[in-house]
Structure 1
Amino acid sequence: MLVLTSATFAVGTDGFLIAGILPDISRSLDVSPSVAGQLVTFFALAYALLSPVLAAATASWPRRRLLVTALLVFTLGNVIVAVAPDYGVAMAGRLVAAAGAAVVTPAATVVATGLVPPEQRGRALALVVAGLSAATALGAPLGTALGGAGHWRLSLWGVAALGIVAALGVAALLPETPRPPAVGLRRRLAPLRDIRIATVLSTTLLTLTGLYTVYTYISLSFDRATDGSGNRLALLLVVFGLAATAGNLTAGSLTDRFGTRRVLTVALLACVVDFALMPWSGSGLPSALLAVAVWGVCGFGVLVPQQHRLISVSGAGAPLSIALNATATYLGVGLSGVIGAAGLHLVGAHRLGLISVVFLALGLCSAELAHRVIRRREESATAPADGAVPLPDSPSGTVR
């Protein structure tokens, strides 16, 4: 289980790292910050599009060989970026890294459930996902600090080293597990025909687009608070990561107690207010720390109720819906890079939060629409058959 966690930690660190070293990459490769930010966009979009395709193509591979191969491809991609002489080569490296990452996380999740009895699958999944949370809290800030202390290429070599360590761990320690049933690409996309699932996924897409429009360019949006210091930026990323981990951990119990609708509504409303204030809260370090803390807690607090809502409406098709939710997540991250780049020219880095507000508000509307669509379907499913006899003392007024 720990080697699977190390694999998701490596992938997560790579996904979050570029934002912290964006100015250095921009200067080194002689491109503008908005163009350098497309390294995040390209990685995320490639991940989102390749994940279902590669999952279908490698369905018959033994799981251990699949994970080792994917981690080596991921490592190769980071090595290409680390030695890239120009922007084009760096983009090619990001594509290779995304191809490996798009296989690692879903495969690690499936393997984790096969290593434990059914009653322990929840904890197994939590441990694997903890690698992604730890990457947010530790991997990206450490990579940023490493880049600030030396050169941004050192950060990419560090991610490549993580990939090698994870691959060696999987090869040496992971037992072979049964292959899951092969699922074709058409079946993987079948849940999109359900309006309930499609609406929930649209909430994920809109929300993640809003949350990451600023994150991709966080070094520019909060440069007044960091004063150009890599250590201060790393501090902001640490606070963000710890807050995100806390939000992720507490969202589960809050969802069980208050339901998905209330948790999503409160979390998204808090994000709307937080991002609307960022042009002012980003001007000093204390207020910036508070802003990223609220951002982390409430932004990552959306993920659990979203998954809970998907599972509740998907039934036996939940694994496919959750995989599509991951695709929607990375599509949102990819779109945020493009939208943020446009925002840099339209409103400036310090006002990117105002663009995020638009997408977060749309995400809030989508979440409410999803609630109503789901409830309407439930009411339709429990409606009395034709010819039911109304009874005055029946709670619903009918005989079921």
Structure 2
Amino acid sequence: MNFKVYILAISTIIVGLVELIVGGILPVMADDLHITIGTAGQLITIYALVYAIAGPVLLSLTAKIERKKLYLITLFIFFIGNIITYFSPNFTFIMIARVITATSAALVIVLSLTITSKIVEPEHRAKALGIIYMGISSSLVLGVPLGIVLTNALGWRSVFLGIATLTIGSLILIYIFLEKIPPENTQPLSVQFKALANKKIAGAHLATLFMLAGHYTIYAYFTPFLETTLHLNQYWVSICYFLFGLAAVGGGALGGGLADRIGSQKSILLIIGAFAIVLLILPYSTFSFPVFLVLMMIWGALSWSINPAQQDYIIRSDPDTSDIHQSFNNSALQIGIALGSGIGGLVMEYTGSVTRTTTVGSIVVVIAFICAVVSLKIPAQWQHSESINRIR
């Protein structure tokens, strides 16, 4: 595997930490800033919304800039955003900093994906993308416990100073090891958004969105699930989060390897189908803690294994607009996270049962499976056009 892929993966880990790391330290931040926890929670909401929109838009607006130069500039802006957070005197400044970090992180992630797809051989592309997603997933699932540990030891501001310091290291690695990558001819933004009219790829985006929505319907409320069904204390809850995180990190590489072996299309259906089944039977495994741990780690691995296959599938389905669709797919992931958290909250509010979130989450994943099936049945537009040209 091209070692540059691992350097890009390191960058995705660093920028990915900022998104959900706030979730574990909201009470501390709220108390220090003299605001309610609900108000502090807006830091997560605004980040997700800005992130989802910024990726596709910025990828288009910066299309004519050499890729390495753009990567370095974006990482530096991300560094500035974290420094602003560290020195912020009030909530308003932190909110501004969150917009800056969300915008820059979105572009770093999509650049990492698009650059990776260009610097590796096609037969290894899914596996390479799996490594990038392993970086993304590891930052998302391990960020919360890491943030809690640092906050308890050094205060919540140390979290963002630490991320800023790591960003400097990433800047140095990218500057030294990544070669210049010329920009490609890119269509105007208005034309690129019309690419969503491609029903085949739109179905793939919806599959990503609903799978992550189903996942976060339960994962966003995993702590009360563990406390209610298994009566675990905080120590064992932390152990579960750690094991889940390890499984999720490995899931990215697992999905990429699977796609390389059996193909992206079969992998997508296999992963989504298995994911729906695991969520459905999860509450029934709580009779035995060891059995639950095994099923939980399968859930964790499957939760992020879909992404490499999806990215490879998107590239193969429409190479001409693959860059913008990779960004759209990453945005769909973010929207899915927000949607799933909202659905889970509604389920708990109206049923009063955290275990019902698994059933609802499984149903949402079934919707993802249907979207994937519909997408796979639609012929690729570019292949159809090539066939017509050959006939002519």
User: Structure 1 length as normaliser, TM-score?
Assistant: 0.78
Q: Which of 265, 273, 280 is residue 265 of structure 1 equivalent to?
A: 273
210-219 or 195-204, which moves further after superposition? 210-219
RMSD of the TM alignment (CA)?
A: 3.6
Which residue of structure 2 aligns with residue 358 of structure 1?
360
Which residue of structure 2 aligns with residue 99 of structure 1?
103
| Matched residues, number | 372
Within the alignment, does 1:324 sit opposite 2:328 as a pair? Answer: yes
Which residue of structure 2 aligns with residue 251 of structure 1?
255
Distance 1:337 1:182 in 2: 35
Which residue of structure 2 aligns with residue 64 of structure 1?
68
Q: Which of 142, 154, 166 is residue 162 of structure 1 equivalent to?
A: 166
Which residue of structure 1 aligns with residue 388 of structure 2?
none
Cα deviation digits, residues 180-208 of structure 1 (max 9, x gap): 22332223323321223222222221221
Residues 27 and 327 (structure 1 numbering): CA distance in 2 closer, same or farther, change over 3 Å? same
Which residue of structure 1 aligns with residue 390 of structure 2?
none
How far is the alpha carbon of 1:118 from its aligned partner?
5.5
Distance 1:82 1:339 in 2: 33
Unaligned runs of 5+ in 2: 385-392
How far is the alpha carbon of 1:149 from its aligned partner?
2.8
Residues 369 and 216 (structure 1 numbering): CA distance in 2 closer, same or farther, change over 3 Å? closer
How far is the alpha carbon of 1:138 from its aligned partner?
5.0
How far is the alpha carbon of 1:101 from its aligned partner?
0.5
Identity %: 26
Within the alignment, does 1:5 sit opposite 2:9 as a pair? Answer: yes
Which residue of structure 2 aligns with residue 389 of structure 1?
none
Q: Secondary structure at the match of 1:207?
A: helix
Distance 1:80 1:342 in 2: 35
Q: Secondary structure at the match of 2:105?
A: helix
How far is the alpha carbon of 1:128 from its aligned partner?
3.5
How far is the alpha carbon of 1:329 from its aligned partner?
0.5
Cα deviation digits, residues 66-107 of structure 1 (max 9, x gap): 112211221222233333344333222211100110111122
Residues 182 and 335 (structure 1 numbering): CA distance in 2 closer, same or farther, change over 3 Å? same
Q: Indicate conservation of the 8 Å contact 1:269/1:364, yes or no.
A: no
How far is the alpha carbon of 1:211 from its aligned partner?
1.9
Residues 218 and 125 (structure 1 numbering): CA distance in 2 closer, same or farther, change over 3 Å? same
How far is the alpha carbon of 1:239 from its aligned partner?
1.2
Within the alignment, does 1:207 sit opposite 2:211 as a pair? Answer: yes
Q: Which of 78, 89, 94 is residue 90 of structure 1 equivalent to?
A: 94
Q: Which of 60, 68, 79 is residue 75 of structure 1 equivalent to?
A: 79
Which residue of structure 1 aligns with residue 377 of structure 2?
375
Question: Which structure is larger by alpha-carbon Rg, 1 or 2?
Answer: 1
Q: Indicate conservation of the 8 Å contact 1:246/1:297, yes or no.
A: yes
Residues 262 and 215 (structure 1 numbering): CA distance in 2 closer, same or farther, change over 3 Å? closer
Distance 1:54 1:239 in 2: 35
Q: Secondary structure at the match of 1:301?
A: helix
- The amino acid of 2:115's aligned partner reads V
Distance 2:31 2:349 in 1: 18
Q: Indicate conservation of the 8 Å contact 1:40/1:216, yes or no.
A: no
- The amino acid of 2:281's aligned partner reads V
Higher helix share: 2
How far is the alpha carbon of 1:254 from its aligned partner?
4.7
160-169 or 255-264, which moves further after superposition? 255-264
Q: Aligned ranges for residues 96-245 of structure 1 at < 5 Å? A: 96-116=100-120, 121-122=125-126, 124-136=128-140, 139-216=143-220, 218=222, 222=226, 227-228=233-234, 234-245=238-249
User: Structure 2 length as normaliser, TM-score?
Assistant: 0.79
Unaligned runs of 5+ in 1: 383-400
Residues 125 and 17 (structure 1 numbering): CA distance in 2 closer, same or farther, change over 3 Å? same
Residues 222 and 155 (structure 1 numbering): CA distance in 2 closer, same or farther, change over 3 Å? farther
Q: Indicate conservation of the 8 Å contact 1:72/1:167, yes or no.
A: yes
Distance 2:289 2:27 in 1: 19
